[in-house]
């Protein structure tokens, strides 16, 4: 019973995710295309200072930044999932990640009173 409900919930969450966040790369490209179009109109002098295209460009820039942040968060979450799956299994991946952390936590040099 619980397994069936969780599978159904998983499917609903996948559908919601694809509607709400799906195809982030495509949405980012759409924003950039609108921004480029408005920029080219501005270069040709086809836009006045109060034109709706300028407002649209500003809105698309904010939207692009938002999609970029969400994509960054998505990649961070995926990397954590990878760490959970493979991190503590005494694998090559575990040792590489451990060495990276160790190197980041080391103090190579320390200055005190100019020495």
Kindly report, residue by residue over 11-36, the tens digit of the pLDDT.
Answer: 888 888 777 777 888 889 999 999 99
Q: Is residue 43 part of a domain?
A: yes
Q: Is residue 47 part of a domain?
A: yes
pLDDT score for 85? 67
> Range of 29's domain?
23-71
The whole-number average pLDDT for the span 105-110 is 75
Q: Is residue 82 part of a domain?
A: no
Tally of domains within the chain? 1
The whole-number average pLDDT for the span 28-48 is 86
Q: Tally the residues of the chain.
A: 115
The two tokens of residue 34 are 């609108």
% pLDDT > 70, the chain: 90
Mean pLDDT taken over the chain:
81
Distances from the Cα of 43 to the Cα of 33, 37, 77, angstroms: 15, 10, 40
Q: Is residue 62 part of a domain?
A: yes
Q: Is residue 42 part of a domain?
A: yes
Q: Is residue 65 part of a domain?
A: yes
pLDDT score for 88? 62
Highest mean pLDDT among 2-11, 45-54, 72-81: 2-11
pLDDT score for 107? 74
3-state secondary structure of 106: coil
Tell me if 56 sits within 8 A of 62, measured CB to CB.
Answer: no
pLDDT, tens digit, for every residue of 1-15? Answer: 888 888 888 888 888
Q: Is residue 15 part of a domain?
A: no
């Amino acid at each position: 019973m619980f397994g069936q409900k969780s599978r159904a919930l998983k499917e609903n969450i996948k559908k919601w995710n694809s509607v709400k966040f799906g195809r982030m790369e495509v949405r980012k490209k759409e924003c950039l295309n609108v921004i480029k179009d408005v920029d080219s109109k501005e270069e040709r002098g086809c836009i006045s200072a109060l034109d709706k295209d300028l407002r649209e460009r500003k809105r698309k820039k904010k939207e692009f930044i938002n999609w970029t942040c969400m994509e960054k968060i998505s990649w961070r979450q995926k990397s954590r999932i990878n760490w959970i799956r493979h991190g503590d299994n005494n694998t090559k991946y575990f040792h590489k990640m451990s060495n990276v952390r160790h190197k980041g936590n080391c103090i190579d040099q320390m200055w005190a009173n100019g020495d």
